[in-house]
Homo-oligomer: A and B are copies of this chain.
Amino acid sequence: MPSVTPTTIKKVNAGFLTDATDILATEEPLELRLEYGPAGHRVVKSISVTMRTPGNDFELALGFLYSEGILLHGSDVVAIGYVKKDNENIVLASLRAGLAPAVANLERNFYTTSSCGVCGKASIEAIRTACPIPDTVDSIRVPVSTIYDLPDLLRTSQELFEDTGGLHACALFDTSGILLLSREDVGRHNALDKLTGAALQAGLLPLDHHVLMLSGRASFELVQKAIMAGIKIIAAVGAPSSLAAEMAEEWGITLIGFLRGRKFNIYSGAERILI
């Protein structure tokens, strides 16, 4: 399915009306089904539906499963594909037979098909106690000049945004500011899941020597997903929410907001930025 959809529109400009063509970001539902259980007793369960931009669908599924704590390694998924050849809106991921995902986690996923994420404070606690937060190092440092450059590098990588003006993006950089990966989606949580899934497939996880750049605001859910991927430094063009800042502080994450030009705010973990 194409990631963009052309459409005919009418343009209004200072009182004049003209016919034109516009390119829209495609938005389509993606249902994720999970097959799991011991050999001979496999079950299939629908665990989430999200409105996403088609493209990198398997990365999206893998990244979602990883940030939910259902996967620890790429090899935990033995097969992934579309359920039907002619329908790219349903993905089936098969877990290896030895892996028994907690049913409670799966239930919780019904809440997390969203940009709104799981249940706030309760979830911060849940992450601490139940989820396999990766063992990560905490010694990375990044020069302030590298941070200044990130928004322009992110924008340059946003191919679809150029056409549509309607997509969120996120990108992964190393500490010298080299762009490693970037992904786009109508849903910012999907963009990050795609990035995490791609990193998982590339064997890059945990991402504890990297900087995550977000094209928009930093919500609780995005910080949560970043933590699950091992990220230590998050930089956003927009504002963080209260809960995003609180969670970053609690987990020792460096959280940067309002990154524009040579200005930004540091909400926590300022020691990692060399000024």
Judging by beta carbons under 8 Å apart, are B12 and A51 in contact?
Answer: no
When each residue 186-230 of chain A gets 1 if its CB lies under 8 Å from chain B and 0 otherwise, what string results? 110000000000000000000000000000010111000000000
Q: How many residues of A contact B (CB 8 A)?
A: 68
A164→B220 CA distance, assembly (Å): 16
A231→B63 CA distance, assembly (Å): 37
Binds B, one of A66-74, A132-140, A263-271: A263-271
Q: Does A151 contact B (CB under 8 A)?
A: no
Judging by beta carbons under 8 Å apart, are A187 and B115 in contact?
Answer: yes
Judging by beta carbons under 8 Å apart, are B119 and A14 in contact?
Answer: no
A122→B30 CA distance, assembly (Å): 12
Q: Does A9 contact B (CB under 8 A)?
A: yes
**Chain B residues, Cβ within 8 Å of A252:** none
Question: In the complex, which residues 1-54 of chain A have their Cβ closer than 8 Å to any Cβ of chain B?
Answer: 4-5, 7, 9-17, 20, 22, 24-29, 31, 49-52
Binding site for B on A (CB under 8 A): 4-5, 7, 9-17, 20, 22, 24-29, 31, 49-52, 89, 110-111, 113-123, 144, 147, 164-166, 186-187, 217, 219-221, 238-245, 258, 262-267, 270, 273, 275
